[in-house]
Amino acid sequence: MAEATPKLKLTFMGEGFPQGAVPLIIVASKLQALQQAVFHAAAAAGGHRGERRGLWYNRYRGAAELSFAAAHHSDLTIEAELAANPVLKDEFNIGLDAVDLLFDVAVAIQQDDLSQLDNRLDRMDRDYLIRALEGLMPNVGDQYQVKMENCRSDRHPSVTFDSTSRMRVRGIAVKVEQPFDSDEEVVVGELIKIHVDAGEDKITVRSQQRDIDCFYGDALRDQVANLIAGSIVQVTGYPTLDSSRQIIKLHRMLDVEPVSMEPLRIGRFESDGRVFVLKSPIAVNVEYTDGVWVYHHPELNLWGYATRREDALRELHQTFAYVYRDIAEEREDNLDAVARQLRERLLLLVPKVSGNLQHA
């Protein structure tokens, strides 16, 4: 009977979620990503051929639809089970094969070695599954991890995704693309048009008063279909440039992700070998204006801004380290009244600092 209802687990861990307090919007998006990944794995296991458009996954519901089984708290863990009918043996076997395949692809991504999939998957199935698993991965700057486990632990090790996992997927996409005569570029802006199963496969992004068409391949269809017009997106791809080296279009998209403008929850700052573990996470405001990312926490007077998200986040961490060194670790009688209040707030916020103090 244990084989009749195989289960998967998702566990949300990290400083951003104290006592397992995970925002529901994150839980919902990761559960949807897990289900979509299992559907793609079932399609591969079942020998599906051709593009996956419209409601293609309906044919795999009997074999691969997940149902809620249980939840556990401390770190939030959600169990989902394959509810396939064991009377339909062929479908049930497809579901089991899909779970095995899903973990094999996840391990290959984690090890950055797709060659171990060469004898199991064709290029299209592999790309679909890689992109589907990307949806389970935290975004750049997120301080949490998602651990995926198969309750049949004798068959698969657990796989843990963090914010670096998305960068690994992007690197995989670059490796397998045909070589182009330009380097990849990143476009960030408002999504104003989405073409799915109608005309050219493209989206249009308004970035710094310019409308840029971005053309996607079939493996990105799920990601594009889940985008919302009017939201902010970040698109990576190969550009066509004009004579002024401005981007006219992205003729081949490598990656697309919605950019959350929700405050970023930070439970740990790191800079110059020092790690500042916070008593509880703080919410840092996020803005994107005129091509510049801005991260700001007014109460602590923290700023980080740059044209690339990664650089803006790095500056935010550097600013925290600078403020902590010059305020929290300064003698109180050397500070004015405002700085003393900030010093008290910082000392309450940071119960633990590791690493060596390095003066500029």
Which residue spans within the chain are E strands per DSSP? Answer: 7-13, 66-72, 76-82, 145-150, 159-161, 185-194, 202-207, 210-215, 232-241, 247-258, 264-271, 274-289, 292-297, 302-306, 352-354
Helix (H, G, I), strand (E, B) or coil at 61: helix
Average pLDDT estimate for 110-116: 83
Written as six digits, the tokens of 196 are 């799915």
Residue 360 above 50 pLDDT? no
Residue 359, pLDDT score: 45
Half-sphere exposure of 212 (CA within 13 A, CB side): 32
Mean pLDDT rounded to a whole number for the chain:
84
Residue 319 has pLDDT above 90, yes or no: yes
Please, what sign has the CA dihedral across residues 175, 311, 194, 241?
negative
Residue 337, Cβ density class (10 Å: 0-12 exposed, 13-18 middle, ≥19 buried): exposed
**pLDDT tens string 300-311:** 989 999 988 889
Residue 225 · residue 193 · CB < 8 Å: no
pTM over 0.85, yes/no:
no
Whole-angstrom CA distances from 105 to 40, 96, 244 are 12, 15, 42
**Percent of the chain residues topping a pLDDT of 90:** 31
The pLDDT-based confidence of 358 (bands split at 50, 70, 90) is low
Contact indicator for 134, 169 with CB cutoff of 8 Å: yes
The tens digit of pLDDT for each residue in 47-96 reads 877 677 778 888 888 888 999 988 988 789 999 988 655 555 566 678 88
pLDDT tens digits, 246-289: 899 999 888 888 887 778 889 899 998 899 999 888 889 998 88
Average confidence (pLDDT) over 102-112: 88
Cα Rg for the chain, rounded, in angstroms?
Answer: 23
Residue 176 has pLDDT above 70, yes or no: no
> Does the pLDDT at position 26 exceed 60?
yes
CA 349 to chain centre: 28
> Domain segments of the chain: what residues?
2-176, 185-258, 264-354
Report d(CA 311, CA 291) in Å as an integer.
Answer: 13
Residue labelled with tokens 């458009």: 53
CATH (one of 1.10.579.10, 3.50.50.60, 2.60.120.10, 2.40.50.140) for 185-258? 2.40.50.140
